[in-house]
Structure formats: C-alpha cells, structure tokens
Amino acid sequence: MSRISKTDSRLREHQDAVAHDLYANRVKVYPKTVRGPMRRIKWAVLIACLAVYYVLPWVRWYRGPNQPGQAVLLDISTERFYFFNLELWPQDIWLLAGLLILGAVLLFLVTSLVGRVWCGYTCPQTVWTDLFMWIEKEIEGDRNERMARDAAPLTADTIWKKTLKHGIWLAIAFWTGGAWIMYYTDAPTVAVDFWTGSAATPVYFFTGLFTLTTYLLAGWAREQVCTYMCPWPRFQSAMLDDQSFTVTYQAWRGEPRARGKRVEGGPQRGDCVDCGMCVAACPTGIDIRDGIQLECINCGLCMDACDHVMARTGQAKGLITWDTLARQAAKKAGKKEPIRILRPRTMIYLTAMTAAVIVMSTALMMRSTLGLSVQRDRAPLFVMLADGSLRNGYTVKISNKTQTNAPYDLSITGLPGAKMVVAEGDPKPQTVLRVLGSSDGVETLRVLVTARPAELSNGAQPVDFILRDTATGAQTVYHSTFMGPAGYAGGR
Amino acid sequence: MPTKIEKDSVSGRDTTGHEWDGIKELDTPLPKWWIYTFYSSIAVAFVLFLLYPSIPYGPGYWHGLLGYSPRKAVDAEVAKLQAERKVSMDKIATLSFDQIKADPALLEVALTKGKITFEENCQACHGAGGSGHPGFPALAAGSWLWGGKLTDIQRTVTHGIRSGDPAAHTSAMPPFGELGLLKPEQIQQVADFVWSKFYGHVTEGQDVSAGAALFAQNCAPCHGADGQGNRLVGAPRLNSRIHLYGDAREIIVSQVTKPRMGVMPNWNARLDPATIKCVTLYVHSLGGGE
Ligand code: SF4
Ligand code: SF4
C-alpha cells in the first residue's frame, strides 16, 4: 500500500534521492499562512508571552532606600532574587528547584491530556519562530511567492527584501538579547550604560550571544531545533497514551483520499480531497495524515487549513482535529468512546503536582526572615579556666532577611549561669547579647560561652541558642551542645 | 551491521536495518550544516593549538602564538593579591591595637592573617585554638605566665622567653632539691601543702603546716603567698584548676627538685612586626585575652 500523494512529493522525492546518504541539505519549509481559531489562539499566546518577556524588567517596585527598585531581578553580585515583594537568598535555592519540578510535572500532565501544546504554543522556539515567519511573510509574501522568489534568479527587489527581513530579524533578536540582560541588572541603568559604552563587559557579551542565538534559532534553524536538538520530542511518547488529545487526521473519514467532485454512485471517496493544504500550512513541513510523528509540534495550523477546505467543498469540519487514538479507533469501528480525562497517569501527575504545590507554598509562607546558625569550635573542644569553669567557643551567624536594621537578643538555655562574650568585643560577660542585625545582611560573631555545669557525666550537654527580634518578637532557635571533660562535676 | 533494511510502508522510505524491542528507525540523513559544524569545530581546535601552548617536543613545547603561560598568569594573580593585601598590612603595621579593633574590616583581616600565622608557627606547641599542651600554656584559657594584655602578648611573641634575644623574658627557678636548698622530706611537705591548698586535693586530717611554713619562706616570694603567681618573673599561678605541667603531685615534687623551664623563640627573627600584631590579636581573641 502506498499512500504517498502527489502534493507532498517534493519532500518525498528529495528523501528518496538521499535515502542512502548520511547527510543531506535541509528541505526548506515555506509554511502557508492560515486563518482560523488555532491561529488566533497562537497569536494571543504569542503576544502575551512576548509582552511579559519584554516589559517585565521595566516594572518598578519600591523596596526602600538603597534597595533595587526592579520588580523582577536576579542580582548575581549580591546573590539575591527579587520577585515583587518576595526576596530570596541563596539558601532558598531549593524553592527554585521545587518550581522547576512543579513546572516539569505540569508539563507532563498537560502533555498526557492534550499532547505537545507546550511545543505548539508556548515554547520560546515556537514563539520567536512564529514571529520571524510573520515578518518574513509580510515582507516577502506568502508561501508560493517565497518559493518562486527563491527559485528565480536574484533581483534587486529580492536583495532589498531579504536585507530588510534580516535587518528586522536582527533588530528583534537584539531587543530579545537586551531584555534578557535586564533581568540581571537594573533595566533603565543598563539601557543607558549600553549605549554610552559604560556597561560591564558581560552585558555586551551576553547581549551579543542572545542576539545571535535568537537570530539563528528563530530565523534559520527553526523546526530543526525541534527535530534535531530538543530532547522533549524524544521523551514525550512516555507521557502520551491513546487517551491523549492530539492533532489528528481522521483517517476513517478521509480515506480513500481523492481529488475531484463527490458524486452519488461514483467511485467511493473519502472526505480528504488531497489538496495538500495541511502540508503547506505545517511549520515543520510534515504530513499530518501520516499519523502522530516526532516532528509534529501539535500547533493545530493544519486544522485551520483543512477546515477551510472542508467549508469550501461543503463537507463537515474537523477532518483534522483534536482527538484521541482510542476515540479514532472507536469511530472507525462505528462505536462511541467517552473522553477519559481522569486516568491513572493523569491522577499520578495531579497528585505529584498538588503535593509539590502544598509543600512549596507552606515552606514559602513559613519562610523566616530571621536566620540563625551556630557552629561549635572543633579545636579546642572546650577550655577549662583557672577557676575550674568551662568555656566553649561558637561561631554564630545571624541573617536578617528584611529591609530594616533589627535589634536582636541572643540568649542561651539549658545551661544555668552561662555567660557570653563576643571575642574581641565588649569583655564584660553577659547573659543576653545585644546584636544589631543590619538590613539584608549577615552578622558573624565568635561567641565564647562560659559556664560551670553541675555535672557533665558524658562530657556534653544539649543547649539551645535563642535569637529574638526585640522589635517584632519573632524568634528562632538553634540546637547545639556544650562540652567539657567526661565526669566533670562543677570543677570541684 | 544492519542486515534487514526494509521499506517502510507508510512513508515509503528505507529503515536503518536496526531493531530495538520491535522498534525500527527510518534512515534519515543528518542535515549537512550539522556535519559542517562538526568540521569547523575540528578546525577551531587546530587554531587553538597554534595560539596556545600545546604540543610537547623533545626538550620543550610549542609556546603558542599568543605567548600565554598559565604560570605567568598565576604569578600575576599572586602579585595582584599581594598588592591588595599590602594595603591592609601597611595599615596594621602603623595603627595601634585600639585603632585596628575600631575598624571591623581591618580587624577581620588581622584575625584571619593571625589565625593562619598561628596555625603555621604556634599551633605545634600551643595546640589548635591555643588549647595548650603540658609545658606549653593554654592561651585560650588565659593561663598567662608573662601577661595577657595585647601589648604583653606582642612583647612575648616578638622577643620570646629565654630565647637569647636581649629583650626576651628571662627568669629561673632555683633547683631546690638539686642544690640541697630543701631536703627531700621538706620537698614532700611543700608538695603536700601545694597539692591540698592550691591544687584542691584535700586529704582529711592531714597536717600541712610544715609545708606551709616552707612555702612562705621559699616559694611565696615568686609564686605569691596565695599562690597567685607573678607575671613580672613569669612565675606560674598555682591556685588554679589548670597547671602548666599537669595536675599531679609527682610533678610538683619534680619541679621543686629540678624544675623544667620552657623556652619560646623570639619571632621577630621570622615574622615581620605587622604579622606579629596579627597573631597577637588572634591569640588575644581566643578567649584568654585581658
Ligand atoms: S502536522 Fe499540523 S499540528 Fe503538527 S506541526 Fe504540522 S501543522 Fe502543526
Ligand atoms: S487539507 Fe484536508 S483535505 Fe486537504 S489534503 Fe489535508 S486533510 Fe486532505
């Protein structure tokens, strides 16, 4: 059975010719412009994504004097991530890991429900390629015009149009690369510094790098990124099953495909008129009628293309439509198959997602702006003083994750009569140490604790360091130990 | 070797002939630009070979057209670092201890430098963190022989003890037993007194009055009537829970009979004054500082 139709023969001839070569020139894809609901959704998603990407770094957010005024900022030099009124420190990096896990599971869930819509609608590769293709179409014309132009000898008009196209592509690519940098430094400042030549070298380097990658990937590589480079198409099959909705050609209805009028009593013909519009519209240059394929990004543009044909030939729409393999098989057999959204696979993804959301939002809400960590000296483990009392040294780190200086009290429990001094600080022993935690900073103190515990039968005793913000009453505890010689009993 | 190249019925194309668990693959050629990228990375490798130190030959190696040398790069980095550090070390050399302590950033530099210097030079005798060893005072506990103020420590570190330096701390305890200044039974009496009165090991009903009298006469001039020691002559404090040569009665006897007396090098022979200031601050910060 050969189902190779004439319309997509260009690609096939090429493939046959090179079938035994290891390398071949890429067959350039000239997608035809389509109109329809899928195309409209794609435009809406594209505009939303690009608007967020380009505008977000310019959104201002007041955090106080001498604080960055940018709503979203990943400040590498001070190791802070700002997201509106959230400020994350490096030790909160697991939240980012959690967010990535959440994103991955969400992607799995969506894929098992509706296939690769990420690829077809929201992937940056798709979004920028779509934008670049639109510019190409506006300048060079639609599919047929572009094919004719590329096949014809070079004219002044072609040179001018191509130059204009690449110029605009480069301008957009530059804007894209520049916007990327703005997530890492203050946007208005870097925008000025860039042109006055006073920005840091990495700013120029990364702007250049992302300009180049955007231009190459969206302008030249296009569907090859999806076909040859991206890992997602490779493992998407692990998420799909016969209940997943994907863009599907309804072969039971379309075959046998044939051109010409459908006449009563004539030869038996399916609904597909073999016009090839679906192939012409496809941005990856494939034939959806071959079934679900690695190259298909599930964009649905072939649906829009075919629906027009169906309308013109007076047949029902939806010859290419969102459908599941199970429902297709049922329809072929003349049966009905219910839509099954809740199935073990989706339930597992949903459970994993809910768990991740609960864990992360609880952690985020309980995240303290007050940090205490205490490290006991290893050498010496303890020091006995002339009067027989014991002293232990601790390195205490106090982090203040707020924007105001905070007065803290550091005290110790579990060790009656314990006195503290800060090494090379005030030599007068205290039961409570006053520490001023400067805003958005870490204080490191070496605290020497002297005590005379009544007994230390095994040479150690648990103690708790308590840090209290005297302004807000917030407090945090760190468990540590106090050590001495085994069998110590008050130093006689 | 692929053996079963077939024609795929759907696409009409050949398969690679390989099969994995029933899955076959279409023989799809790679795009040409892919292989060109591969070739150009090989070309780039050769360019890098030319530009940078690469191929060894006989006695030497190809130095590269750019003249880059990782050794020189390290030397430059080190020189840069030393220039940066010199700023702080110059300040430490000229400022007083109080001025250094008033500048937290400078104090941190001094303490870090002091810690490293201590670990390299002092730790072998005085123990990690100044925890002390028998015969070597526990600096962290503040059992000073010659004083625990910053200036005291600085002087001791600079000139040493019995080191031969003209400004070194020097003193000697008479070998009471060896010279016959005290008879063996008198030494035992003194030891009984010191052991119970100052070391705190009291034996019920023991009469130490003879030892007390001998102590007042022979030892108190240096060690003090209450065994509090005397830093002017480096006489250790006796009324303490920690002892230079250990908490044992035999040690008292042997010290009175023929004392051991420690020697500490004069570090001005090895360390510059700024570094000595740093190590002084570090020793002071260990907890025993006064
Ligand atoms: S086959 Fe259809 S859904 Fe798939 S990539 Fe092509 S146009 Fe998009
Ligand atoms: S657009 Fe529709 S009718 Fe035309 S070839 Fe494709 S499936 Fe057949």
Query: Is the confidence at residue A181, as pLDDT, over 80?
Result: yes
Query: Helices in B95-133 by DSSP H: which ranges?
Result: 97-101, 104-121, 123-126
Q: Check which CATH number belongs to the domain holding B241 and give it.
A: 1.10.760.10
pLDDT at A1: 33
Closest among A171, A180, A182, A183 to A218, alpha carbons compared: A171
Domain residue limits at B144: 72-167+270-285
| B163 and B80 within one domain | yes
| B84 and B160 within one domain | yes
- Cα-atom radius of gyration of chain B, to the nearest Å? 37
The pTM for the full model equals 0.75
ipTM over 0.90: no
Going residue by residue through chain B (290 aa), what tens digit of pLDDT does each one get?
456 778 887 777 888 888 888 888 888 788 888 889 999 999 999 999 999 998 898 888 898 999 898 899 999 999 999 999 999 999 999 999 999 999 989 999 999 999 999 999 999 999 999 989 999 999 999 889 999 999 999 999 999 999 999 999 999 999 999 999 999 999 999 999 999 999 988 888 888 999 999 999 999 999 999 999 999 999 999 999 889 998 899 999 999 999 999 999 999 999 999 999 999 999 999 988 88
Q: Where are the domains of chain A?
A: 246-332, 370-483
| B154 and B80 within one domain | yes
Residue B196 CB neighbours (<10 A): 17
| B155 and B227 within one domain | no
pLDDT at A492: 60
> Is B265 within the bounds of a domain?
no
| B221 and B149 within one domain | no
Structure tokens at A133: 């293709």
Segment (H or E) for B18: strand B15-20
Residue A228 near chain B (CB below 8 Å):
yes
Q: Is A297 in the pocket of ligand 2 (CB under 6 A)?
A: no
Closest among B168, B167, B146 to B283, alpha carbons compared: B146
> Is B5 within the bounds of a domain?
no
Q: Is A119 in the pocket of ligand 1 (CB under 6 A)?
A: no
Residue in B101, B286, B290 to test binding to A, most A beta-carbons within 10 Å? B286
- With an 8 Å Cβ cutoff, are A424 and B131 in contact? no
Strand partners, A434: A409
CATH homologous superfamily for the domain A370-483: Immunoglobulins (2.60.40.10)
| B77 and B151 within one domain | yes
| B277 and B138 within one domain | yes
pLDDT digit string (tens) for A316-374?
A: 999 999 999 999 999 989 888 888 889 999 999 999 999 989 998 898 888 778 889 99
Q: Is A276 in the pocket of ligand 2 (CB under 6 A)?
A: yes
Question: Which of A121, A284, A319, A323 to mutate for ligand 1's pocket (most ligand atoms within 8 Å of CB)?
Answer: A284
pLDDT digit string (tens) for A408-429?
A: 999 999 998 899 999 888 889 9
φ, ψ at A438 (rounded to 5°): -70, 150
Q: How far apart are CA A412 and CA A445, in angstroms?
A: 15
Interface A-B: count of C-beta contacts within 8 A:
99
Q: What angle do CA B234, B239, B242 make, to 5 degrees?
A: 80
Q: How far apart are CA B34 and CA A70, in angstroms?
A: 41
| B83 and B148 within one domain | yes
| B247 and B202 within one domain | yes
Atom of ligand 1 at shortest range from CA of A247: 3
How close, in Å, is residue B9 to chain A by CA atoms?
Answer: 7
How close, in Å, is residue B29 to chain A by CA atoms?
Answer: 5
Q: How far apart are CA A425 and CA B285, in angstroms?
A: 9
Q: What is the tally of structural domains in chain B?
A: 2
- CB–CB of B182/B191 below 8 Å? no
pLDDT digit string (tens) for A17-63?
A: 555 677 888 889 999 999 999 999 999 999 999 999 999 999 999 88
| B79 and B136 within one domain | yes
